[in-house]
Structure 1
Amino acid sequence: MSFLEESWEQREETTYKEIFGDTGPGIFPLSNEVFDRMNAKEIDPRWLTHGVFKSPPNGSRSTWAYVTSGMSNPWDAVEPEEYSGMGIELLIETVEEETWAIEVLQTLMAYNLLLASGQMGDFPPLDYGHRVPLALSESIKAMMLIHPVNFPSTFSIKSGRVDLLQVVGITPSELEAAKQTSSDEIREKLVSRTGGLVTSKERASVV
């Protein structure tokens, strides 16, 4: 196997199974339609190998976990670097099995790939603390990227380090409060008031 294939396999077949357990029936890949909705000027065929895994509850957690796979692929590397590929993967937790959780992560992943390729203007790729307008309902209007609580915030594979960013839906008032203070402060309030970082379509604001 190539360096890319070994790193890719290690993430999906070993590391993800250690972190999440069962990763479901297979990957839910990105499609051309996701990029078309964002008016992508160009779609790299490699992006269509990226996708989302769905991990059911198990003995260590009661939530469903959805995690991206692909942004940390070392496409052009031939030896380990500090960060593997783009250096991140995204995670979202829900109480029930939710199709929209896959769609949220696919949208954010496609957006990040377009950011990194310079197709979304002069903005940096997604990182900790970023907030993205992406509505689930009248209650949840944006997604915030933060350090996980019940999962490691980073892991390493053969090709380098990967940061795991948890996506959590936030209310309009939480979004405004995060702009005034910080995403970390809202994260702490969410954990204190709700016990974790689960995303749902309806939730009372913590601010």
Structure 2
Amino acid sequence: MKAPETDEDFIQWYEDCWADRDEVEYPKMFGAIDEGVFTLDQTDAIQAWMESDLAQVEGEADPNWGPMGVRAAPPSPDYPYWTYVTSGLSNPFTVAPGDEITDETPSGIGYEMVIHTPEQAKWPVFRLLDMMAYNLVTMRAFALNHRYPVEGTLDGGDSKLGGFVFVRDPSRPDHFALPSGKVQLLTLVGVTKNEMAFARSNGLDKLMEKLVTAGTGYITHPDREEVKL
């Protein structure tokens, strides 16, 4: 199929793809989604990365990035924990009017990121917004099996977790389709620096086995102890 060729039709199609993801696909995978959206233009994350040595964007940041953000899904009978998911990285901003789109065409940069937590918290929102800005400004993408250390701790407090690993959550689909292309879901699991090193040497599957055995699995518990490695 092709993206609409006229500017007016393309803008409407772009907005429809966004709505399809947030209002159709996300509720199917995560349950009821809170109405509120935590957006990039509510933070200084984009500007901070624009001023970093890693920035690859010249001039001003794209104004289309500002409304991108993070959605939250409260616990449900099927998923008794909080879910935070980015909304915008899969917007079709890499497509021009009239471009050809196949089933394997990535929508936007091709993924959205997810963090699960046992309780409602602000830190997953801030972390995801910062990582979205990193993707957009530095033009560096994440992928399954990646590891991402952060400065300090994940929650900004006393947590022993100092980074994320990127995995597939076996409890739900790992991708979905939009009219603009394919979208992968990357689940971020918080880990300690030692756990990250263990995954680098032994593979993420081995680390996830230990986290599942310990009872935390794919849910990030900021106050947990390091698993026995």
2:183 counterpart SS class: strand
Q: Does 1:165 align with 2:175?
A: no
Q: 1:179 — aligned with what?
A: 200
Contact residue 4 and residue 77 of structure 1 kept, 8 A: no
Q: Does 1:85 align with 2:108?
A: yes
- Displacement after TM superposition at 1:152 (Å): 1.6
Q: 1:14 — aligned with what?
A: 24
Contact residue 63 and residue 94 of structure 1 kept, 8 A: yes
Q: Does 1:97 align with 2:120?
A: yes
Q: Does 1:24 align with 2:34?
A: yes
Q: Deviations over 1:71-121 (max 9, x none)?
A: 0011224453421111000000000000111111111111111232xxxxx
Q: Does 1:48 align with 2:66?
A: yes
Q: Which whole-Å CA distance do the structure 1 matches of 2:122 and 2:159 have between them?
A: 18
Over the matched positions of the two proteins, sequence identity in percent amounts to 34
Structure exhibiting the larger radius of gyration computed from Cα positions: 2
CA change 1:182–1:64 in 2 (3 A) is: same
Q: 2:46 — aligned with what?
A: 35
- Structure 1 portions without partners, runs of 5+: 117-123
Q: Which whole-Å CA distance do the structure 1 matches of 2:141 and 2:108 have between them?
A: 12
Q: 2:3 — aligned with what?
A: none
| Higher alpha-carbon deviation: 21-30 or 182-191 | 182-191
CA RMSD of aligned residues (A): 1.8
Contact residue 129 and residue 184 of structure 1 kept, 8 A: no
Q: Which whole-Å CA distance do the structure 2 matches of 1:138 and 1:17 have between them?
A: 30
Q: Does 1:3 align with 2:13?
A: yes
Q: Which whole-Å CA distance do the structure 1 matches of 2:147 and 2:200 have between them?
A: 9
TM-score for both structures, normalised by structure 2: 0.81
- Displacement after TM superposition at 1:30 (Å): 0.7
2:44 counterpart SS class: helix
2:137 counterpart SS class: helix
TM-score for both structures, normalised by structure 1: 0.89
Of 117, 131, 155, which residue of structure 1 is paired with 2:176? 155
Q: 1:63 — aligned with what?
A: 81
Given residue 62 of structure 2, which amino acid in structure 1 is its aligned partner?
D
Q: Which whole-Å CA distance do the structure 1 matches of 2:32 and 2:107 have between them?
A: 23
Over 4 Å off, 4+ runs: none
- Displacement after TM superposition at 1:195 (Å): 5.0
- Structure 2 portions without partners, runs of 5+: 1-8
1:7 counterpart SS class: helix
Q: Which whole-Å CA distance do the structure 2 matches of 1:167 and 1:199 have between them?
A: 8
Q: 1:121 — aligned with what?
A: none
Q: Which whole-Å CA distance do the structure 2 matches of 1:18 and 1:6 have between them?
A: 17
Contact residue 90 and residue 110 of structure 2 kept, 8 A: yes
Given residue 140 of structure 1, which amino acid in structure 2 is its aligned partner?
L
1:103 counterpart SS class: helix
Given residue 67 of structure 2, which amino acid in structure 1 is its aligned partner?
T
Q: 1:119 — aligned with what?
A: none
User: How many residues get paired?
Assistant: 200
Q: Deviations over 1:35-94 (max 9, x none)?
A: 233325642111112100010001211100000010001122445342111100000000
1:10 counterpart SS class: helix
